[in-house]
Structure 1
Amino acid sequence: MIELLHGDCLDVLPTLPDGGFDAVVTSPPYNLGIGYRTFEDTAPRAEFLGWCVRWALELKRVLADDGSFFLNVGAAPKNPLMPHQLLLALTDGPEPLFTLQNTFHWVKSITVETRKGEQISAGHFKPINSKRFVNDCHEYVFHLTKRGDIPVDRRAAGVPYQDKSNIARWGHTGGQDLRCRGNTWFIPYDTIQSRDSDRPHPATFPVALVEQCVRLHGKGGETRLIDPFLGIGSSAVASIRMKLERFTGIELDDEYLAFARERCAEEEVPSA
């Protein structure tokens, strides 16, 4: 079931049942002055963090006890502490909301050197013109859980061994050509022709990022997924492609929601 809801997540989340979801994958506004259509992304830091705690409380309520909360947060060169301040707001103090279980680095663009000495560059990034800062080519994905002891399916989100001899050499492989991917995920954006028509939102994540999180959580098609900041619907599209049991997305902006519905329709599954 695909359910796309229009409204403020602080109004919609309280209407949803306790423990009704297995996983959250979302990317809230970063409070970095990003030009959203409806949301004002320039609140004082303390006010922003307090707002985040309010919706995180609701997410904790609707998340199953063995659920996973994948929180994608980016930074800006002039404001590098914001992701960590948000993380501390959700995990620190005498009664923390969540426990940080894993930290993933979503790498958007990278240059690697092959064994033959060739340099290969892949991915997309937004270049900056600065004498102080380098181009920012990654964002964080914080994996939060209620207790910090939730099993994950490392191989479902894994990669084949480069050196196949390791399959037999290491007993933990079980003879399978698949290893844990680790905490660096190179997931580039798809190349687009027009931002206005292909990606009319200033801060999106790729469908593949959501798919990776769902695989890692390990419940497969039985996953009940929620995204309280739906945007243009990448998490909804991932849910359709992975044939998840249930997806609920919440979006404040009517135009972003309309675009998300169009994307769902293109996947040939009607949205609620």
Structure 2
Amino acid sequence: MPTTSLLHGDCLKVLPTLDVASHDLVVTSPPYNLGINYRSFDDTASRSDFLDWCRAWSAEIKRLLTDDGSFFLNVGAAPSNPLFPHQVLLALTEEFFVLQNTFHWIKSITIETRKGEQISAGHFKPINSKRYVNDCHEYVFHLTKTGNVPLDRRGAGVPYQDKSNIARWGHTGGVDKRCRGNTWFIPYDTIKSRDKDRPHPATFPIGLVEQCIHLHGKGRDTRLLDPFLGIGTSALAAKRQKIAHFTGIELDDHYLTVARERLEAPENQELF
């Protein structure tokens, strides 16, 4: 049976208690230092103090990650503060990690079909501004120790739109699946009540974590860590994928309670 460990506490105190090289995948989204109203975390530190804090937990993640491990870091920004994700990335790649891939998590998009039809899909938070457009995406930085970690590109792939390409291109091996690329359209699920269905000010969809698990390519042998668990989205993804071991750390006791309740909900019991 897969094992799930949900730990309560400050990640800077809990991470040092975990064994070296005990996880091969980290998927997380830390606070963005944008003044978000978390219950137990002050999201208004100075930029230098915040980046020092990021370096501290990043060093621990490197210690816990196997040499062939992957660290997927989801970071967003405010339109008035667009350099923030890149400043975090630079802080983490100065001495700890190599940036191997950059993914764009698309929350909402409008496309035009070959027939000229326009289709809008997804959700975004409208911005009332004369200077900025609506912000419909976030970054997912793929960090590794060496920059040379193999991925299962087609494990997280999509079918070919033009099926003739399957036979035309030798690298397909006759399989109707191609690499998805670095743009991931993963919308939020529609909710009726934020307080009931998503009682956390900053979450990512379960599908985003599952995409990282598939791309990582270790299947059920995956040992996944999320040091900023929130209400347990990554834990639910681990449960859906039946991976070997999941560890989540959360500072706020209420969010951790919600995470446990979500895992124990009747609709999720069939996932075991």
Tell me the TM-score normalized by structure 1. 0.97
Note the residue ranges of structure 1 that are not aligned, 5 or more in a row: none
8 Å Cα contact 1:2-1:270 kept in structure 2: no
Aligned to 1:128: 127
- Give 2:269's aligned residue: 268
Query: How far apart in 2 are the matches of 1:247 and 1:58?
Result: 17
CA drift at 1:164: 0.1
- Contact map agreement 1:158 1:180 (CA 8 A) in 2: yes
1:31 maps to what in 2?
33
Distance 1:155 1:129 in 2: 40
Q: How does 1:149-228 map to 2 (within 5 A)?
A: 149-228=148-227
**Matching of residue 111 in structure 1 with residue 113 in structure 2:** no
The CA deviation at 1:182 is 0.1
Describe the superposition over 1:8-51 as per-residue Cα deviations: whole angstroms up to 9, x where unpaired: 00000000000000100000000011111110101000000000
Q: Is the 8 A contact 2:21 2:66 kept in 1?
A: yes
For the residue of structure 1 that corresponds to 2:159, the secondary structure is: coil
Q: Deviations over 1:149-177 (max 9, x none)?
A: 00000000000000000000000000000
Contact 2:240/2:271, CA 8 A, preserved across alignment: no
**Paired position in structure 2 for 1:138:** 137
Per-residue CA deviations over 1:157-201 (Å, capped at 9, x if unaligned) read 000000000000000000000000000000000000000000000
Code of the residue aligned with 1:25 in structure 2: it is V
| Equivalent residue in structure 2 for 1:54, among 53, 56, 73 | 56
Alignment match, 1:91: 93
Residue 83 of structure 2: aligned partner? 81
Q: How far apart, in 1, do the equivalents of 2:8 and 2:71 lie? A: 22
Letter in 1 for 2:249: I
Cα offset, 1:250, TM superposition: 0.2
Per the alignment, in what secondary structure is the counterpart of residue 156 of structure 2? coil
CA contact (8 A) 1:19 1:62 kept: yes
Cα offset, 1:270, TM superposition: 11
- Over 3 Å counting, the alpha-carbon distance change for 1:82 and 1:147 in structure 2 is same
2:241 counterpart of 1:238: no
CA distance in 2, matches of 1:22, 1:90: 18
Residues of 1 paired with 2:244 and 2:271: CA distance?
Answer: 14
Q: Matches of 2:96 and 2:110 in 1, distance apart?
A: 37
Letter in 2 for 1:147: T
Q: What CA distance in whole angstroms lies between the structure 2 residues aligned with 1:261 and 1:268?
A: 12
Does the 8 Å CA contact 1:240/1:269 hold for their aligned counterparts?
no
Quick one: percent identity of the two aligned structures?
74
CA-atom RMSD, angstroms? 1.2
The normalised TM-score by structure 2 is: 0.97
How far apart, CA to CA, are the structure 1 residues paired with 2:270 and 2:182?
32
Q: 5+ residue gaps in structure 2?
A: none
Task: Indicate the residue corresponding to 1:10 in structure 2.
Answer: 12
Question: Matches of 2:57 and 2:248 in 1, distance apart?
Answer: 14
> Using the alignment, how far apart are the partners of 1:269 and 1:20 within structure 2?
28
CA contact (8 A) 2:239 2:271 kept: no
Question: How many Å apart are 1:268 and its aligned residue?
Answer: 1.9
